[in-house]
A = this chain, B = another copy of it.
Amino acid sequence: MRRVCVISGGITKFAKANPELTQEAMCKDAFDRALADAGLELKDIDSSICTYFSDHFNGQLLFDSLTQDYLGLCPKPSMRIEGGGATGGLGIRAGYMNVASGLSDVCLVYGFEKMSEVNTAKGNEFIALASDTDFDFPVGGFYSGYYATMAQRHMHEFGTTAEQFARIAVKNYDNAFYNPYAQKHERLTVQDVLNAPMIATPITRPMVCVMSDGAACVILASEEKAKQITRRLVYITGLGCGTDTMRLGDRPRGDVILLPGEEPEKYAYLKGRWPGVASFRGGREAARQAYLQAGITDPLHQIDFAEVHDAYASSELQTYEDMDFCKYGDGGKFVEAGLPYLDGELPVNPSGGLIACGHPVGATGIMQGVFALWQLQETIQDHMKSDRLQVKDARRGLIHSHAGTGTYITVHILERGW
């Protein structure tokens, strides 16, 4: 199998609304930045992968053909990948497959979403239509509600608190303050977060990511090509993808999927009720595959930073456990101990995550790839005009993309090769 590298990335500033530009122009801006960063020209790209979430957001079907065209990539191969909130992560996975399979040497993976052409309640309704429209949507189901019920169950089972969720939101806002690409540049206290308007108990507004307009891209290349392009090689050394039932209520209650090196006894206290609605089986499965491939048995110490899909502060906490940054049930303690902070043992979402950067769905998972690449290339200073968010000696990073209540989850391990 051919080894695959990430060689450059580009991103637009995420914004609540960017009516000045069409989606295709946003993609072009991100693409131009990635080309410039790698010193490449249009002709050097031999294929693309496009990601966006839903035709509903703009009423333009086959949008990928419009963007492929606009980027000047015709008649080269392309395809669109979609998987809800995990769309971007799945796009990177498809880009890897494209290069590793030998079909492509240099592949552009780009994604976008323009969520501002409908009002927020309609946007939330569209996203809710990405749950079961026969059984779950008609009762008023929507994603903040689903995640809130998961959070309540986690609190019930493990004693997790709303304050712990709030701490995660504060951490991510604090990080984003130094990220010029982030939609939000605010400073909040834990009390601010707890006192903010309730969306769905126990989730308050600042614990939820926001809709956004934006585009992001990464350029992937075979190892051989990558070596011709950059000295700062970054390899994809592990990939994982897990899935789960569409209806949260259909999740099994059984035994934990074990990660490399784990023994069943570790989770005896869960008494066969995993994942239920409190954890993400798909995330665990994705981590298992990725850790196996990358040779990770002690993620807390072997991973230097992680960009995880924090559509909700509660799901970031749950994800600590799925990724085995801590044991199931210990997510609250993990954040209270300061471990996921920028100066902690394993900085999580040094970029500010979705909560503060925004969540233009098709771009988000790729945004994580861009920020992780810059960490590993040690170019945060160059791209953000400040090294405040540069994780020192970052050699291995994890990116984690996630669709509605964990229906799709991807994990990629990126490693410095220079």
Contacts and interface: CB of A to CB of B under 8 A. Distances in A.
Nearest to A257: B75
B74 A244 contact: yes
Given A56-B55, A97-B94, A129-B60, A408 B242 contact: no
A364 interface: no
B65 A61 contact: no
A141 to B, nearest CB: 13
B66 A61 contact: no
Given A54-B61, A74-B243, 13 more contacts: A55-B129, A58-B133, A60-B132, A62-B130, A62-B404, A65-B130, A65-B408, A69-B245, A79-B83, A79-B93, A94-B97, A97-B103, A100-B102
A160 interface: no
A250 interface: yes
A68 interface: yes
A-B pairs, top 4 by smallest CB distance, nearest first, are A77-B241, A100-B101, A61-B130, A97-B97
Contacts of A175: none
A78 interface: yes
Nearest to A98: B97
Contacts of A81: 79-82, 94
A47 B65 CA distance: 27
A234 to B, nearest CB: 18
Interface in A253-290: 257, 281-282, 284-286, 289
Nearest to A56: B55
Interface residues of A, number: 67
A77 B126 CA distance: 24
Interface string A176-205: 000000000000000000000000000000
B408 A243 contact: no
A131 B65 CA distance: 9
Contact of A75 (B47, B62, B244, B247): B244
Nearest to A93: B79
A121 interface: no
A335 B166 CA distance: 70
A88 B139 CA distance: 34
B243 A65 contact: yes
A131 B82 CA distance: 19
A78 B408 contact: yes
A358 interface: no
Contacts of A392: none
Given A56-B56, A60-B133, A68-B243, A285 B103 contact: no
Nearest to A239: B103
Interface string A85-117: 000001001101110111100000000000000
11 contacts: A59-B129, A59-B133, A65-B83, A65-B130, A68-B407, A69-B245, A75-B242, A75-B281, A77-B286, A82-B82, A97-B101
Contacts of A289: 77
